[in-house]
Structure formats: structure tokens, C-alpha cells
Amino acid sequence: MFAGSHAGYLLAFLASLVVMLGVGVWVARRTTSGEDFLLAGRRLGTPLLLGTTLATLVGTGSSLGAVGFAYENGWAGALYGIGGAAGVLALLWLFADVRRHGFMTFSEEMSYYYGASRAVKGVVAVTMLVAEVGWLGAHILGGALYLSYLTGMDPTTAKVAVALGFGLYTVIGGYLAVVVTDAVQGTILFVGFTILATLALVAAGGFSGINSSVPGEATSMLGVEALGPIPAVSQALVIAVGVLATPSYRQRIYSAASVRTVRRGFALVGVLFAAFAVMPAIAGLAARAMQPGLDNPDMAFPYLATTVFPVWLGAFLLIAGLSATMSSGDSDAITAVTILLRDVAQLVTGRLPRAERMVGYSRVALVGVLAAALVCALAATTIIDYISLMISTVLTGLLVAAVLGKFWRRATWQGGLAAIAGGSAAALAVETSESWSALWGNPVLPSLAAAVVAGVAVSLATPRQRVSREEALRRLAAERAELDVGTRVRGGETEQDREETAGDGGSASGG
């Protein structure tokens, strides 16, 4: 067994868990209602919103997965960061203003666009719950892969350890614990990956050493020669779609103090994440130059931490890597629970949970969601492939349905569902054809196209929706009030949002 089994790595992991658990216990004393537990009381200011969004964005895929992707495809590893930055800036531009409506879940938001449609809310809720469990499985997989590599821990045990790691403080402290720990982990992430990229570059002999040791196509502009032009575009686009349609990013919008806070925070996140994009690419290229024979490219990060650097530095980098998985995993866990209790429970039972029991229900639901994600983590091999397939199959049609519903008043609920189904069908068709998969790289482009065609065609072929936006908002707010979640902004605007709307000339960007 090599240095990766050194007890120092395990001690570093356990120490980080103790700190995060302490934060969870501290925050739990301030959690008195369902709104506090699931949305941090909708009081997030710019610093916390910036920290939690950035830490979630710099997750398993954009850190560990991107290093592995760069190991295989060179500078194409930066496409993840470029796509993520584009996605968060597009999210700001298209959807930041929905904060003023007091939504609690993406399913609510989608239902609003389609006349408070129960069918849309139900389909989106189930789809998003599946997607969130899938995301959570990816984070558990990523953390377990290199925790096992570093410590010699059994892979199954490592998956359980990672899940328990962020599960414990999330169950205890709820969304506010997620936000506060994310801010800490985000700082560790940026420092850790900057150190990783810099020292790995030096160890590989600088850019000249990399250029002389890796294939020429890997060092081409953004790895286009390694991937091909269309797959390269698809890789960046699929990550942008993931940001635009993943519920955990919407959760940041709903929990912010105001629309202005969302816009300011997301703009800063976009800039910082674009700057971060190059770090995993450099690390992956350096690992390829020094050790070209790794069987699993996702092992490039732990290879650097255990082989190139001393134990104390490797332990710090372990914490940075685990911060990536935990800061994203806790967000997806709490978002999945919000969807489960707000939307899926109503779909199955016909009623909403009692307000006074929301915190207890939330903690029980978190345990169930984590267990389901552990099962998903057993089915995947590489992180990027897993995430790309899930986004293309589940999220592309949802994004098209959201855009059509918000900005095109002729869109109908039938058209929204058709967009979701059409995007998934096209993605699955591409995935089952080797020639199509080779052409597109991943199914996001044909999936988006099919979703647009299906959504527009079915909307035009079905009657216009008759429920106004105002009435839809009233119906959803009345439902939400039963949970005592979001009651501070029951379908209406906060005072600050009203001032911002007046300052913007009253425009709500179609929302």
C-alpha cells in the first residue's frame, strides 16, 4: 500500500467532519420553523449567497470530474468551468426576478408559468426529485472514489462515509447549515485548487514540460482537437443547462433576501467561476504528463495529492476535494427534501405536511434521500459521463419548458410536458446509437432541439391556457401558506422587491 493509506488523510477527513458538524449544531439552535430549515428564512445576503452558490458550482464535476476529464482530453477540462459560468450568468439574466414571487420549489415555479397546472407541478416534482437524487449520487461517487484511494478504505465504506459526512450536519442544521458550511468550504476549495494547479504545474516542468509529454491534440485550444468541435460545444452547453435547470440553484434564488441580492451574487459567482475554470485543467494535464497510465481518469486528483505532494499538503488537498463533493451534496440533499415535502407529498397524499412538524419531517426525509442516492452511486463509473447523461436525459427538456412558459404566453401545459418528454426521448435515442454519440459527444444539442419542436408544436395544437399569471400565483401562495413556508412573501413581493421593480420600470422579464 502506498502513501494514500496514510492515517493522516483519514484524520484530516474526520477533523473536517467534526468542524462541519459543529456548525450544524450551532445553526440548529436558530432553526425553529420549516422556512428556517428549508430556506434559511429567505434572508441570505450577498456574501452568503455568493459563498454557497460558488461552493455548489465548484462541485464534484467541476473539480474532481474536470481534473479527470482534462487528464483524458487536455484543455477541454476548462469547458466545465466555462459552461458553468455561462449557465449562472444566463440564470441571472433569465430567472433572477422570480425571487419576488415567493416560490419554494422549481415545481412551483414551473406550475406558475402554466396556469398553476397540477399536471406540470406533479411531473416536474417527480422528475426533479429523481434528478436531485442522481446529482447527490454523483457527489457521493466522486468523494468516495478518492477517499478510498487516499485512505485504503473499502469503496462501499467510503461511499457511506461521504454520505454521512454531509448528511449529519445537514440533518441537524438544515439549509442554513448548508449555506454556512458552503461558505467555509468554498474558501478551502479556491485556495486548495489554486495550490494544486500551481504545484502540479511546477512538478510537471511547467507548460513546456506538459506540451512535450502529452499528445498534441490535448494541448489544442480548449481541447477541440481531442474532442472534436461539436462534442466540445456540447460539453460546455450541457454544464450550462445543468446550472439553468438544476433545482439547487433555483433554491439559492428563492432563499435570497431580494432580487437585487440574487443579481449581485450571481454576477460575482459567474466571474469567479470563469477564473476558476483553468485550475482543474492545469491539474489534469500535469497529472497526464507525470503519470500517463492511470486506469481511471477520475483518479488524477488523488494521484497528485498522494504521490506528488507531501502528506500534510495532500491532507489539505483532500479536504479541498471533499469540500467540493460535500458543498454540492448537501445542497442537493436539502433541495430534494424540499421538493419531496412541498410537491411530491401533496401529489401522493393529496395534502401537505403539517407546519408544526416540518422540521421533523425534513430530517426523516433527508435520511431517505441519502439512502436512495447511495444506491445510485453504485451504478456509475466516471463522474463526467454520469452527470452529462443525467442532464441531457432529464434537464434539457425542463429548461426548454421553463423558457417557453415564462417568455411565450401561447405556451400551454400540454406543450410544457411535451417539451420535457421530447427532450428526454431525443437524449435516449442518441445514447443508444454509437454513431450519434460519437458525433454529438453528449445528447444535449439534439435534446434541446427536440424539446423546442415538441413544446412549440403541441402548444400551438392545444387551447390557450385561461388562468392568468395573477390567479396562478394566488393559488400557489394559498397552498404554500399551509406549510408556513414562504408566508413572509405569500405570492407577493417584499418591500425591497417592490422598490427594485419600480426602479426597473416595472419590468419582470415576462415573469
User: pLDDT tier at 421 (50, 70, 90 boundaries)?
Assistant: very high
Q: Write out pLDDT tens, residues 42-87.
A: 878 888 888 888 877 776 556 667 888 888 888 988 888 899 999 9
What is the span of the domain harbouring residue 145?
3-383
In whole angstroms, give the CA distance from residue 41 to residue 34.
9
Mean per-residue pLDDT, 336-363: 79
Contact in structure between 110 and 346 (CB atoms under 8 Å): no
Type of residue at 297:
P
Look at residue 451 and tell me if it is in a domain.
no
Look at residue 76 and tell me if it is in a domain.
yes
Look at residue 414 and tell me if it is in a domain.
no
Three-state SS string over 6-42 comes to: CHHHHHHHHHHHHHHHHHHHHHHCCCCCHHHHHHHHH
Query: What's the confidence (pLDDT) of residue 347?
Result: 82
Give whichever of 287-291, 365-369, 381-385 has the largest mean pLDDT.
Answer: 287-291
Look at residue 94 and tell me if it is in a domain.
yes
- The DSSP letter of residue 378 is T
Q: Is the pLDDT of residue 169 over 90?
A: no
Look at residue 511 and tell me if it is in a domain.
no
The mean of the pLDDT values for the chain is 80
Query: What's the confidence (pLDDT) of residue 461?
Result: 97
Q: Is the pLDDT of residue 424 over 80?
A: yes
3-state SS class at 193: helix
Query: What's the confidence (pLDDT) of residue 28?
Result: 64
Q: Write out pLDDT tens, residues 98-114.
A: 999 989 889 999 999 99
Domain count, the chain: 1
Look at residue 407 and tell me if it is in a domain.
no
Angle between helix 259-276 and 78-95 (nearest 10):
170
Q: Is the pLDDT of residue 20 over 80?
A: no
Query: Which of 417, 431, 426 is closest to 389 using CA atoms?
Result: 431
CATH number of the domain where residue 87 is located: 1.20.1730.10
Q: Write out pLDDT tens, residues 216-254.
A: 888 888 888 888 888 889 888 988 998 898 888 898 899
Q: What residues are paired with 44 via a beta bridge?
A: 256
Query: What's the confidence (pLDDT) of residue 490?
Result: 43
Angle between helix 118-151 and 155-203 (nearest 10):
70
Look at residue 253 and tell me if it is in a domain.
yes
Q: Is the pLDDT of residue 5 over 50?
A: no
Helix, strand, coil percent content, the chain, rounded in steps of 5: 85, 0, 15
Q: Write out pLDDT tens, residues 287-332.
A: 999 988 888 787 787 788 777 777 777 677 667 667 667 767 777 8
Query: What's the confidence (pLDDT) of residue 29?
Result: 66
In whole angstroms, give the CA distance from residue 133 to residue 154.
23
Higher pLDDT, 490 or 443: 443
Look at residue 493 and tell me if it is in a domain.
no
Extract the C-alpha cell encoding 28: 440548529
In whole angstroms, give the CA distance from residue 392 to residue 283.
27
Query: Which of 342, 309, 312, 403 is closest to 12 using CA atoms?
Result: 312
Query: What's the confidence (pLDDT) of residue 438?
Result: 82
Query: Which of 363, 414, 310 is closest to 36 using CA atoms?
Result: 363
Give whichever of 146-160, 349-363, 434-448 has the largest mean pLDDT.
Answer: 434-448
